[in-house]
Structure 1
Amino acid sequence: MRTILVTGAAGYVGGALTRRLLDQPETSVIGVDFCAMDHGAEGVREIIGRPGFTFVREDIRNTDAIEPLLERADAVVHLAAIVGDPACRRDPDETVSINIDATGRLIDASKRHGIEHFVFVSTCSNYGVSDTSTLVTEDGDLNPVSLYAESKVAVEKRLLENGDLPATVCRFATVYGVAPRMRFDLTVNQFTIEALRDGVLEIYGEQFWRPYVHVEDAARGVQLVLAKPDVAVGRVYNVGDSEENYTKGMMYELLKERLPDLEAKWVSIDEDPRSYKVSFQRIADELGYETTWDVPRGMDQIIEYARLGAFPEPKAPRFRN
C-alpha cells in the first residue's frame, strides 16, 4: 500500500486529484486542508469516510501536526497555498507565511521523514511576460510579475537547487472546468457563467495569451508524475497542451458560437501585463501525457451543469478565492 499526503486536498484541484488517487489500487490518501475559506471542505466532503482516505483539518503552518502525517506517507503532493494574484495581494504577509515559509518547513520535514517523492504544484504564471511569437518551455526565463508567482518561483528554486529531496515541479496552465469544489474566479469558468447568465462580458486585455488546462487533466498530470518517479524526479513539467493557448478575445468568439446573443464590452487595462504561450511538449515526450479536454468542451460542460441548476449562486464567496 502506497500512502500519498495531499495538502490542499479540499481545494479546486485537490478534490479532483484525491478522488483519482483513491481510485488507484493499493493507494491510500491523507488529505490535509485548513478549510478556512468559504468553501470549507467542499472538495472532499462527499468522500470523507471512504476507505483509504484520511482527512485532517489542519494548517500546514502547524509543523507539529504535519510531522506525524509525514511519518505515514511515502509521497507528498503540495497544493496548499494562497492561490491567485488577487488573493495574494489581499494579504502579502500571510501569503509569504503560507506559500514560502510553511512550504519550506514542509520540505525540510519531508527530508527528515524520508519522503520518496515530493510533487510541488507551481504555475505557468511564473513566465510572466514572454515573447508570444514562440512557445516558452520549462527552460525559458522566469519573469514573475505578481507575489503569487514570486512565491512559486522561490519554492521551485529551493527544491531544484538543493537536490536532496526527490522532487518534481508541475507548472499548471490556468485551470478550468467543473470540479467538486467549483471556482468562478478563473477565466474560462468566469467567462462562461457570466456569458450564460448576463449575456454580456466585460473583457480586459483581450490580446494577452495564456495556456489553459481542465481540472481533471491537471489532476491526471500529477497522477502520472507520481506513477513515474524514475523519470519525473528532478524534472520540471508544464502541465497542459500546446494547442490550448488562447487569448480572451478568442474565448469570447468561442462563447459567441454557443451563445449567439452574447455581447462584449472591451476595456483597455494595463494592470495585468502577463502574456505567454507555453509549450507542453516535455511532459508529452517524457511521460506520455495527453490532455482529454479542450476549452470549447470545458465551456460546454459548464453551460450544461449551469442549465441543470448546479450553480444557483455563482457569485457566492464559496466559488472564489
Structure 2
Amino acid sequence: MSRGDEVIGFDSLNDYYDVSLKQARLARLLDQRGYTHVQADLSDRAAVENVFATHRPQRVVHLAAQAGVRYAAQNPHVYVSSNVTGTLHILEGCRHHGVEHLVFASTSSVYGANRAMPFNEHQGTEHPLTLYAATKKANEMMAHSYAHLYGFPCTGLRFFTVYGPWGRPDMALFLFTKSILAGEPIKVFNHGHHRRSFTYVDDIVEGVVRALDCPPGKDAAWDGMNPDPATSGVAPYRIFNIGNEQPVELLRYIEVLEECLGRKAKMEMLPLQAGDVPDTEADVSSLVDAVGYRPQVSVEQGVSNFVAWYRDYYRV
C-alpha cells in the first residue's frame, strides 16, 4: 500500500489461535487508504469466486493455510479443506479472471526425508514426513498444472521457520518467551541440537514483494527426460527458497532469547518429535539470481525485535 497498490485482504479469522491477536493485526490496516478486508474462508467456493468477480485483482499473493506440523495429527481434514481445496479455489479464480501472477506460500517442510544440505529447489521433494508438508507439496503441483493449462505465471516460495513480531503463538519463540517470563519450563526437543534456518518476517515480506514483481516465463532448457523440480519448460512456473542461509542450533536460539529477556530458561530436554527433521538449511542462490535479494536479519536482531514487540503488546 505504501507504494500505491490497492490491497484486498482475505482472512477467515478462525480460532486456531488467539483471535484477538488476529484482530489487533487487522486493526492496523483497516483505516489505511487502499485496503479492503473480506472475512471469509478459502474453502467457501462461492465466497472466493465473489471476491475475484468483484475486485478483479491484477496479482494474487496466497499465504493462507492451515499451518502447524503437529496439529495435523489431531485434525487432518482441516488441512485438506484449507490447504488443498482452498488453493484450488484460488487457482480457479486466477484462471477465470485474468490474474497476471500468482505467488503462493510453500514450506521447507516439503524437503521431508531429504538430508542433503543445504536444501535447494533443484532437489526432489517426493518424501514429505507430515500431512502438512504433503498438502503444501500438493499446492506446488496444482499450481504447475494450472500454469501449464491456462498460462498464468505461478511462483511458489518455500518459507524456512518464519519468526518475528505479530507471529503465531504456537511457534517456539512465542511459547518459549511466555514460559520463561512466567518462570515455567520450556520443552526442548532433540535436546536442542537440531538446526533451523530461522528467517525474520521482514526478510520474508521483502522476498514476497520482489517475487511478485518478477513473474516467471517458461524455462527453455527442457528436454522432457530429466525435468528440473524448480522450473518448467512447459509452464511459466518457478519455485524459490526464502530462508536465512545461516542455520542456528536451537540451543543458541534459546540462549539469544535468554539474553534479550534477561532471564534463564528452565529446560525440559526431550527427544526429537515425530515428523520433525533434524536440520534445515536454505540455499537461496536462485532467489538472489532472480530478484536480487537475500534474507539477512540475524537471529540476535530478530529475536530482540520480537521480545520488544512481545513486551509492548502483552504489557509484560
Range of TM-score over shorter length: 0.7 to 0.9
Structure 1 Cα separation of the partners of residues 87 and 109 of structure 2: 19
Structure 2 Cα separation of the partners of residues 101 and 262 of structure 1: 41
Question: Which residue does 2:226 correspond to in 1?
Answer: none
1:277-299 Cα distance to aligned partner (Å, 9 max, x none): 22122112221113252211122
Structure 2 Cα separation of the partners of residues 31 and 90 of structure 1: 29
2:172 aligned with 1:190? no
- Which of 154, 173, 178 does residue 167 from structure 1 map onto? 154
Question: Which residue does 1:138 correspond to in 2?
Answer: 121
2:301 aligned with 1:297? yes
2:195 aligned with 1:209? yes
Question: Which one is further off, 45-54 or 164-173?
Answer: 45-54
Q: How does 1:235-314 map to 2 (within 5 A)?
A: 235-243=238-246, 245-258=247-260, 259=262, 261-275=264-278, 276-307=280-311, 309-312=312-315
Matched residue count? 286
Aligned residues with identical type, % of pairs: 26
Instruction: Compute the TM-score of the two structures, normalised by the length of structure 2.
Output: 0.82
- Which of 55, 66, 83 does residue 67 from structure 2 map onto? 83
**Kept after mapping to 1: 8 A contact 2:165/2:310:** no
Structure 2 Cα separation of the partners of residues 229 and 266 of structure 1: 45
Structure 1 Cα separation of the partners of residues 145 and 49 of structure 2: 24
Structure 2 Cα separation of the partners of residues 225 and 45 of structure 1: 27
Gaps of 5+ in 1: 1-21, 314-321
Displacement of 1:256 in angstroms is 4.5
Please give the root-mean-square deviation of Cα atoms over the aligned residues, in Å: 2.3
Distance 1:194 1:296, change over 3 A: farther
Question: Which residue does 2:223 correspond to in 1?
Answer: none
Distance 1:297 1:199, change over 3 A: farther
**Kept after mapping to 2: 8 A contact 1:174/1:186:** no
Amino acid at match of 1:254: V
**Kept after mapping to 1: 8 A contact 2:284/2:294:** no
SS at match of 1:310: helix
SS at match of 1:152: helix
Question: Which residue does 2:9 correspond to in 1?
Answer: 31
Amino acid at match of 2:244: D
Structure 2 Cα separation of the partners of residues 253 and 49 of structure 1: 39
SS at match of 1:122: strand
Question: Which residue does 2:237 correspond to in 1?
Answer: 234
Structure 2 Cα separation of the partners of residues 44 and 261 of structure 1: 34
Structure 1 Cα separation of the partners of residues 184 and 12 of structure 2: 37
Gaps of 5+ in 2: 218-230
Displacement of 1:200 in angstroms is 4.4
Question: Which one is further off, 256-265 or 106-115?
Answer: 256-265
2:39 aligned with 1:57? yes
Structure 1 Cα separation of the partners of residues 92 and 112 of structure 2: 28
